[in-house]
Amino acid sequence: MREGECEIMSLNSLAEGKGIGTALLSEVEKAAREQDCRLLKLVTTNDNTHALRFYQRRGFVLSKISIGAVEEARKLKPEIPLIGSDGIPIRDEIELVKVLGD
């Protein structure tokens, strides 16, 4: 959390489809509100359609698309996989935000 913004660096559910991700996200939101953060933010990649669905259904909106950002990062970190979820090439970073109202 910094300057009124809370960034989710990683959100991982080890047993999907049981409400764990939703519970984790709601705890993050609670903690952010307690720290007077007005914005929740995260970055995912273009292949992660599951996460894009998950977050948008929970009030997040797309705020930035960095075309080719993963391809650039891969030049420094060649271990970043070429192919991600559902066989989709991993190329871009997508930022999502949720404004925390009163």
SS (H, E, C) the chain: CECCEEEECCCCCCCCCCCHHHHHHHHHHHHHHHCCCCEEEEEEECCCHHHHHHHHCCCCEEEEEECCHHHHHHHHCCCCCCECHHHCECCCEEEEEEECCC
Smallest distance, ligand COA to C-beta of residue 4, A: 21
In this chain, which of 39, 48, 73, 92 binds ligand COA, going by CB under 6 A? Answer: 48
In this chain, which of 2, 57, 75, 77 binds ligand COA, going by CB under 6 A? Answer: 57
Q: Which part of the chain contacts ligand COA (CB under 6 A), choosing from 45-53, 62-70, 73-81, 94-102?
A: 45-53
